[in-house]
Amino acid sequence: MKMPSGNGHGFFFEGFDKFVHMGFFFVLTILLFYGKIRHQHNYSFSSLTIFKIIVITAALGAGIEMLQLKFFSYRSAEWWDFGCDMIGVFMGVFSYILLHKSNYNEKTGN
């Protein structure tokens, strides 16, 4: 996203796009976990599910950056964008694990 020229005041600031990357990939990760929970009809914890979601989102983030590098002249690929994508993913994974543990403990009475 091109930043508007001017005196630097306003809603956008330098690095705002990194927050957008983190936010989108956080929401994507949460939605993938939600879809998996709805599909299997329970909250069972699976390390394989976490691994699959990390791989899928990493491939998507890397694919987006590769497209920007190879095919779009008006966009640029940045390792920081991919890094922020993965920070958002790990924030989502952490949230899932944290909420899963608290939900599981409430159901078992521990």
User: Per residue in 9-41, pLDDT tens?
Assistant: 556 777 788 899 999 999 999 999 989 888 887
Under DSSP, is residue 59 helix (H, G, I), strand (E, B) or coil?
helix
The backbone torsions φ and ψ at residue 92, rounded to the nearest 5 degrees and listed phi first, read -65, -40
User: Per residue in 39-55, pLDDT tens?
Assistant: 887 767 678 889 999 99
Distance between CA atoms of 55 and 34, rounded to whole angstroms?
Answer: 17
Going by C-alpha positions, the residue among 88, 83, 87, 81 that lies closest to residue 26 is: 88
pLDDT at position 110 is: 52
pLDDT at position 47 is: 86
Say which residue, 74 or 66, is predicted with more confidence: 66
pLDDT at position 46 is: 79
Distance between CA atoms of 28 and 24, rounded to whole angstroms?
Answer: 6
Say which residue, 87 or 12, is predicted with more confidence: 87
Does an H or E element contain 5, and which? none
- Computed over every residue of the chain, the mean pLDDT equals 82
Q: pTM of this prediction?
A: 0.77
